[in-house]
Amino acid sequence: MRRPTPEKPSERARVRPRTDVFETPEALIVVADVPGADHDSVEVTLQEDVLTLRAQPVLRAPEGWQPAGAEFELPEYERSFRVTAEIDRDGLEAGIQDGRLRVVLRKRLPRSSRIEIQAR
C-alpha cells in the first residue's frame, strides 16, 4: 500500500486511531478505525517486532457547498504496537473497508514431529 504525499502536512493533527487487538490460536488480529481512509491512503509496516499503522485520509469539502461549522476534522492516524508473538512474515494480511483497517498477523506455529516407536 502506497502512501500519498499530504497536501498540508503541518496543518493536520496526528492522532492514535481507536484500535482493538484480538488473538486466536493461529493469529493476532488488529482492527483500527480510520474513517475517511481508503486503500491508497493507508500504510501498514512490520519492522522487526513493531507493527505500525498509518493513514492519511483525504476528505475535501463538497463542491459547491460552504462550510457552516465543524466539530471534527479528519486527522492523520498513526499507531505502533510491539508484537511479542512469533509472526510468520509471509502470512501478513491487511484490508480496509468502511473506514475500518484490519490486519492479520499469522503466528509461526511450532513444528511438531512425530516420532515413530521402533519395535524390537
Binding site for another protein (CB under 8 A): 18-24, 29, 31-38, 57, 59, 61-62, 64-74, 98-100
Nearer to another protein, 58 or 108 (CB): 58
Nearer to another protein, 61 or 119 (CB): 61
Instruction: Tell me the closest approach of the beta carbon of residue 16 to another protein, in angstroms.
Output: 9
Give which of 114, 59, 107 is closest to 87, Cα–Cα: 107
Nearer to another protein, 61 or 115 (CB): 61
What cell was used for 66? 460552504
Whole-number Cα distances in Å, 40 to 1, 34, 57, 97, 112: 6, 13, 9, 12, 40
